[in-house]
Structure 1
Amino acid sequence: MNRIVLYTVLLLLTGKIAAQDRIPKVEALLEKMTLEEKIGQLNLLTPGGGIATGSVVSENVEKKIKAGQVGGLFGVAGPEKVRQAQEIAIKNSRLKIPLLIGSDIIHGYKTTFPIPLGTSSSWDMDLIQKMAEVAAKEATADGINWNFSPMVDIARDPRWGRISEGAGEDPYLGSAIASAMVRGYQGSDLMDARTMMACVKHLALYGAVEAGRDYNSVDMSKVKMYNQYLPVYKAAIDAGVGSAMTSFNDIDGVPASGNKWLITDLLRKQWGFEGFVVSDYTSINEMTAHGLGNLQDVSALALKAGLDMDMVGEGFLTTLKKSVEEGKVTEEEITTACRRVLTAKHQLGLFNDPYRYSDKSRPAKDILTAENRKLAREAAKRSFVLLKNYNNTLPLQKTSTIALIGPLANNKNNMLGTWAPTGDPQLSVPVLEGFKNVAPKAHVTYAKGANITDNPDLAERANVFGTRVEIDTDPEALLNQALNVASKADVIVAVIGEASEFSGEAASRTNLSLPASQKKLLKVLEKTGKPMAIVLMSGRPLTIEEELDLPASIVQVWHPGIEAGNAIADVIFGDYNPSGKLTATWPRNVGQIPIYHSSKITGRPAPKDNNHQKFKSNYLDVHNDPLLVFGYGLSYTDFAYSNLRLNKTEVSDRESITVSVDVTNTGDFDGEETVQLYLKDVVRSITPPKRQLKGFKKVFLNKGETKTVSLTLTPEHLKFYNSELKFIAEPGDFEVFVGTDSNAEHKAEFTLN
């Protein structure tokens, strides 16, 4: 034991081990381990059974566990299966080291919540944290102790399918959501068997892939990184996330999984991260395709960069010992990585009880409970965004005669959305069923009306994880059935949009409009002259300029999750007044992409009235403004803002400012409004954004009620990273805008001295 203590002290003195790593049990174990066993702890495998995100499935997994060559598994779930895996490690390997059991639990486990882009539209941090808590409780009941979530990548290009998995385009809102999710998953005590270790991903910049094409390159300045893309990852680190996952893209020409500046200099030294770093699915191996060498070369590069665990690729397992022998890596570097993995297992309590996540009584008590489904319904309806309410068609009367039409109107397979591998689509509530549950006295008739798409190639690609698109071979008959149903109704509700796998990983698109089959359906329904409400499902912003011009109301419902139909009916029939706000800008067409609210003003800005001028920064064929701005979302009621004021107009760099505004519900319904605060730095040393979100608060107002809403601007809100990457606030004038979206017009000013 003296030798272990001496070893630890020496490492501390030389700065090779962080303070949190001083765990006697871990150090004692490291002393016993052979080089091969240390390398084994850096190996993460999947025996198959879940949804793979690559073409590789691990082989001879049981044999490798017995040989001490596996540190963790994913794709394994259920108390008995997890116990069986742990028993192989505990009873058959030499050192009896328990396994990490991971999974992608992106928006709920068995109780599937709306896709993350949808839940971000709630702007409700308490709700988001609660959803993460429920996801952790369900997943741990099924034996999982490590979650590959939250996905926090900033995304400003809706062609990228994985925009569906994150919180949209804004680093301030995204940071708040990242923190809430980490707190929800990990709780206050990772030793609690109802909590799990979170893994922030994808480090870094993955949402900025060129052309919106998944796995593509990323190239951006450090100033843009620090100010706009990195804050969300740092927020998760500051919230105490236990692990991080590298991204597929390169950064400054070096793939993330082998990027020492990213993993060691930024993540560990600048941000103080003390957890462990795992690669994404075979991303170490894929550095060979990037052009950085053979498997031994890139595995050594990744280890020396500071990456600790190799997901599925087995490059560490098969090459690191040889690299030690050849002097390309050191055993000390392997020991450091192993220490981080073992520390995570200690933090989860696995050394005390490797079977603590294998309680057979828990699934029945904790998974898919009525309480959990109630939260899923609440989360879904709070995520919906009312884009248009033509002639106040909505909400509908519960005694109406309704033609419910559309390829997603009576469809279970697409309600959960992308990246819901642990959910069961057949347990979801379709819209037709929800209408009958919420409005049993309404006369509802249904017709499919159209296929999601008539394109068999697109359908085949969307059906990779099961049937999402079924193509009826007689589209004209579908249209005729829809017209017949519509002719007998008071109002039409058209449920249209994307199949769930039209977005998500490896689901980039260049055409973001509705499929031709659904466009044709809407035009036919419009010609009936009947009042119409469109329920729009998608995993991303779409280009719907044509649909927004229709004489119809539109509710964006994303992919709402297991309680989809009930939640949609709650909003359509007015049991809940929609309060969602967009967290990603919606373009008029793909030619405007990338488009986002905090872009910079150029030296030749386009006229504010959108009248075209030569030699200005505008298009010939469309004006610059997006179709729908960041923060946009209507209500069944109306809100009026007045009396914007600041408690001071001159501040030092140590003072905060209180921003207050009066908000009045001037309409006929009770409702919620998300008050948004944006800041503009008028003059500074590098080009400022037009405005940046720096505060928000959701407030409930009864009809006719007025409330004063106060938000605080702290000294930190005024800071930015300058050209030398120093985080500073510069003296000068600032403008504050408060209102209902990013076009807020109520303005006040102050000066930083």
Structure 2
Amino acid sequence: MIGTWHFLHQTPDTTIKMQFIIDKKEDITLSVILEPFPFPVEIHTVTVEGNLLQARGISQFVPGESFEFDLAFEDQEFQGRIKLPYQEAFFVKGMKGTGPSLEDLLISTLSPYRKSDVKPRNDQEIREAVEILLNKMSITDKIGQMSQCMSTNLSLGSDIESETPEKLIMEGRVGSILSAVNSNRVFELQKIAVERSPHGIPLLFNFDVIHGFQTIFPVPLAWSCSWDMAAIREANAIASKEASATGITYNHGPMVDITRDPRWGRVVEGAGEDPYLGSLIAKAQVEGFQGESLFDPETIIACLKHFVAYGAAEAGRDYNTVDISEGTLRNVFLPPFQAGIEAGAGSVMNSFNTYQGVPVAGNRYILNELLRKELGFDGILISDYGAIDEIVAHGNAKDSKEAAQKALEATMDIEMVTRSYDHLHELIERGFVVEEQLNEAVRRILTFKYKIGIMDDPFRYVRPEKEKEYHFHPMHLEASRKLAQKSIVLLKNNGALPLADKKQKLAVIGPFGDSKDMLGPWQWSRYSKETVTLREGLEAKGFPKTHLLMEAGCKVEEAVDGGIERAVAAAEQADIVILALGESSEMSGEAASRMDITLPQVQQELAEAIVRVGKPTVLVLTNGRPLVLDWFERHVDAIVETWFLGSQAGHAIADVLLGHYNPTGKLTMSFPAHIGQVPVYYSHYKTGRPVTENNKGEKFFSRYIDGSNDPLYPFGYGLSYTSFEISDIRLSQTQMTDSETIVASVTVSNTGQVPGEETVQMYIQDLYGSVVRPVKELKGFNKVQLAASEAKEICFSITAADLVYWNPELKYGAEPGDFKVYIGSSSRDVKETSFELVL
């Protein structure tokens, strides 16, 4: 029975394909791929007696429901009983091999539905068509367009009481579907909507495409460390290309929350702590997803999330309270959303938190006054999962009926998955809301359905032939590898790297030495088994297997019997040790906040045992957040922050370790020296008793009595295999008006022996004003490639626009006075000079 097996099963609503991959190392193992559903199956028990196999498993997305398999194998066939969640057990017959793809089965079926002469409608044509259709729709029809359901009757998080998607679609009670990530399933559901719903209005198909669809790219916190907008834009364009081929039309991303607390699990999804850099990355992501035109079937609607200040959750605990000032909202958390809206993002999703005591899902000031009226956003506003119901849980509404009213009054267009909006019919009858409020929401939804072309060509995104071509394409994998290289940050190196000699014996020790858990959270790739491990990456670069001593030493959070002893023995035989440590994917992402952001204790014990051996030791980290690394900074020879790098992780890491790629990454979140510093970030305020070089040992200043205020590794920090020098700053003038420009220039020199790239960063400080301002704010950067001994002049332009902030007069503006400009290789390592703004 060892090998790959498959079966097809036809239900009244869909064709299910299941693959079993049965392997034997020490024991029989079973892996399961279930299509068209995106939910991974985790097998807990496998029992084999002769040709009979019994297995039990679960999926983290199907709480309380198990998968059961009782199968008998003979020659090239098998048969037996299978139980899936929420379904009765059924009998199956299958065969050996991977079997036909659902895509192949769909291609011929689609032929009669294809259209070739559809052209985009202009804005006026869309407005007219929307009004004609709107006038035909009942209140129930309109509520349907404002409602969403899952692609199956499975639920995420808390249980959601809902009828089947097929029934809801047929009755016109949903306008969008979440998590249909197979073209077969998209076709089945779209066909019901077009042929059997009251007005034949096609569905939007939504999914969280966060850092790739089938080809997985580095997690967003990782790729932000590339500071490379073109590469980030390309990654999202590729993700859009792969997702749209499956029929996805509407993305639940990008996440553009500014975040300064590494305890929060969702730091992994964002661009870090800085609003300037975060704004550039937000713009690049929207441009990548939406391309030149949403009518292009290889683009998807971008949704900016989570509006707003979700990253300020108290104590770094997901879904927790947020309590910030208007100035902090405007100056820190709002800029990436402004940039994304200016880039044309078609959608925005609310945050789970409150603002001024009001849950954002029902907050008229945040969603209507600020987002719609002030920022001019006229796209689709969608609730996060269950967020309207949670208005009740927050204590801001008596029941889901009142919550629905508050969300509608805040101009929420689509309710994700829950059914509070079913109350809108009664609320209209009782005069609490009016039908025109529904009309405004439905206009926006229908407008985008026309914009993407599905009103005239409902099946244009269902392209199984393109799925086969695009998914995990070699060019996409190469783009993932290149971005992964750029995302790696070298935190420490005393000369241990790059690895100079493949004749050396290399001990790769730790749970991530040969792990495929390199993709990170928020991905559901069918190709996860093909993720390149660190071991595979080193072997592919020519490191002979005889010179690679592999020992896990421990699991991520659990000891292994004899693991540390075997790891120490391997280290003793080696010339150099790679400690491959970190977090599992489940330790980052939504609902994955951590109180302690050190490595798990079992890994710390492993590291201490290995360091005692006395061999040169390199720490290679796989993780989704900044970690406390002070012990490692003191005890190992080099530290390489690789994050979760995606499908080509092992290749990219090996490229850097062996010096085939000179690391260029720069941190976008500060790494604390101790958990007690959190949140720690570079653009803090001085306070009335700032710590200086002269007073840092004295007591009555804003300092800790048991350690420094400074992070271990600051924002913008990252080393190279070469060295750079940056000259003093030259200013074209030292005084400027609001219509003038100052040019700040430096000379950057590569003083090392190999070519390299430096990211030269410019920061500005407003020294005094009507409110206090941060000690530094990033206002520009320039990436420069330099050969050994080469030097180049780098210039930055400073205008009054760089000095603007939200001030006590409740408006944006720049104030006259003195400013400092800093230019350097990180937020800490800078040269400085001064200028004055006169008005």
TM band (smaller chain): over 0.9
Q: Is 1:568 matched with 2:653? A: yes
Gaps of 5+ in 1: 1-18, 455-470
Residues 597 and 177 of structure 1: is their aligned pair in 2 closer, same or farther, counting only changes over 3 Å?
A: same
Alpha-carbon separation, structure 1, partners of 2:159 and 2:214 = 25
C-alpha separation in 2, matches of 1:494 and 1:87? 53
CA distance in 2, matches of 1:55, 1:498: 28
**Equivalent residue letter for 2:503:** T
- Contact 2:126–2:447 (8 Å) recurs in 1: no
1:52 aligns to what? 156
Contact 1:152 1:178 (8 Å CA) reproduced: yes
1:415 aligns with 2:500: no
- Given the alignment, which residue of 412, 430, 435 partners 1:307? 412
Deviation digits for residues 147-198 of structure 1, max 9, x if unmatched?
Answer: 1111010111111000010000000000000000000000011000000100
**Matched residue type, 1:303:** L
* 1:108-133 CA distance string (max 9 Å, x none): 11100111100000000000000000
Give the equivalent residue in structure 2 for 1:242: 346
Paired with 1:706 and 1:114, the residues of 2 have a C-alpha distance of 32
Residue 226 of structure 1 pairs with residue 311 of structure 2: no
Which residue does the alignment assign to 2:639?
554
Cα 1:41–1:21 shift into 2, 3 Å: farther
Please say which of residues 393-402 and 693-702 is displaced more in the overlay. 393-402
Equivalent pair of 2:496/2:637 in contact (CA under 8 Å): no
Residue 615 of structure 1 aligns to a residue in which SS?
coil
Aligned-pair CA distance for 1:526: 1.0
Partner of 1:444: 548
Match 2:369 to one of 249, 262, 265: 265
Q: For 1:20 and 1:672, how far apart are their aligned partners in 2?
A: 49
Alpha-carbon distance in 2 for matches of 1:614, 1:423: 57
In 2, the alpha carbon distance for the partners of 1:59 and 1:667 equals 66
Higher strand share: 2
Which stretch shows the higher mean deviation, 185-194 or 393-402? 393-402
Q: Aligned to 1:197, what secondary structure does the other structure show?
A: coil
1:405 to 500, 504, 509: 509
Asked whether the equivalents of residues 299 and 319 of structure 1 are also in contact (C-alpha less than 8 Å), the reply is yes
What is the distance in 1 between the residues matched to 2:255 and 2:636?
37
Question: Which residue, out of 614, 629, 632, partners 2:699?
Answer: 614
Q: How does 1:162-177 map to 2 (within 5 A)?
A: 162-177=266-281
Q: In 2 relative to 1, CA 174–362 (structure 1 residues): closer, same or farther, beyond 3 Å?
A: same
Summarize the alignment of residues 403-482 of structure 1 with structure 2, pairs less than 5 Å apart.
403-412=507-516, 414-422=517-525, 424-441=527-544, 443-454=547-558, 472=560, 474=561, 477-482=562-567
Take 1:689 and 1:55, find their aligned partners in 2: how far apart are those partners?
Answer: 44
Number of equivalenced pairs: 714
Deviations 1:34-91 (A, max 9, x none): 1110111000111348883554374321111111111100110222221111110000
Amino acid at match of 1:509: R
Tell me the secondary structure at the aligned position of residue 464 of structure 2: coil
Contact 2:620/2:639 (CA < 8 Å) preserved in 1?
A: yes
The SS at the match of 2:214 is coil
In the alignment, residue 136 of structure 2 is paired with which amino acid? K
Please say if residues 699 and 705 of structure 2, whose CA atoms lie closer than 8 Å, have aligned partners that are also in contact.
no
Aligned partner of residue 762 in structure 2, secondary structure: strand
In structure 2, the residue corresponding to 1:451 is in which secondary structure? coil
Matched, 1:31 2:131: no
* Cα shift readout 1:247-270 (whole Å, capped 9, x = no counterpart): 110011110100011111001111
- Checking the alignment, whether the CA contact within 8 Å between 1:226 and 1:725 is kept in structure 2 is no
Change (3 A) 1:691 1:225: same
SS of corresponding position for 1:23 = helix
Q: Secondary structure at the match of 1:527?
A: helix
Task: Report the equivalent of 1:85.
Answer: 189
C-alpha separation in 1, matches of 2:202 and 2:484: 37
- Which amino acid in the other structure matches residue 421 of structure 1? W
How many Å apart are 1:425 and its aligned residue? 2.5
Distance 1:320 1:746 in 2: 60
Deviations 1:277-310 (Å, cap 9, x if unpaired)? Answer: 0000010001101112200000010001111100
Choose 545-554 or 245-254, whichever is displaced more: 545-554
| Aligned-partner Cα distance in 2 for 1:56–1:612 | 57
The residue aligned with 1:460 is: none
Residues 646 and 20 (structure 1), Cα distance of their counterparts in 2 relative to 1, 3 Å cut = farther
Deviations 1:607-664 (A, max 9, x none): 3357332221111111111111110100010000014212222111122222211101
RMSD: 1.5
What's 2:116 paired with? Answer: none
Q: Judging changes above 3 Å, is the alpha-carbon distance between structure 1 residues 55 and 396 closer, same or farther for their aligned structure 2 residues?
A: farther
- Distance change in 2, residues 1:408/1:48 (3 Å): farther
Q: Distance in 1 between matches of 2:695 and 2:153?
A: 54
2:710 aligned partner: 625
Instruction: Output the CA distance in 2 between the equivalents of 1:557 and 1:50.
Output: 34
Distance change (3 Å), C-alpha of 1:602 and 1:133: same
* Residue 21 (structure 1) shift: 9.7
Amino acid at match of 1:428: T
Residue deviations 1:519-569, cap 9 Å, x none? Answer: 111111111111111101110000111111113200000011111111110
Query: What SS does structure 2 have at the residue aligned with 1:533?
Result: strand
Letter of the structure 1 residue corresponding to residue 156 of structure 2: A
Q: Provide the identity percentage.
A: 43
1:217 paired residue among 321, 330, 340? 321
Q: Distance in 2 between matches of 1:637 and 1:264?
A: 51
Q: Secondary structure at the match of 1:375?
A: helix
1:228-247: CA deviation from partner (whole Å, max 9, x where unpaired): 11111111111100000001
Structure number with greater Rg is 2
Which amino acid in structure 1 is aligned with residue 529 of structure 2? Q
CA offset digits 1:678-736 (Å, max 9, x no partner): 00011111001001000011111111110111122232111111012210011111110
- What residue in structure 2 maps to residue 193 of structure 1? 297
Q: For residue 297 of structure 1, what is the aligned residue in structure 2?
A: 402
Alpha carbons 1:191, 1:349 under 8 Å: kept: yes
TM-score (norm 1): 0.93
Q: Aligned in 2, Cα 1:669/1:55: closer, same or farther, shift over 3 Å? A: farther
Q: How does 1:286-685 map to 2 (within 5 A)?
A: 286-292=390-396, 293-316=398-421, 318-412=422-516, 414-422=517-525, 424-441=527-544, 443-454=547-558, 472=560, 474=561, 477-608=562-693, 611-685=696-770
Counterparts of 2:807 and 2:542, CA distance in 1: 57
C-alpha separation in 1, matches of 2:578 and 2:695: 34
Cα distance between partner residues in 1 of 2:243 and 2:296:
13
Match of 2:810 in 1: 725
The residue aligned with 1:742 is 827
Output the CA distance in 2 between the equivalents of 1:388 and 1:98. Answer: 54
C-alpha distance 357-620 of structure 1, shift in aligned 2 (>3 A): same
Between the aligned partners of 1:549 and 1:481, the Cα distance in structure 2 is 25
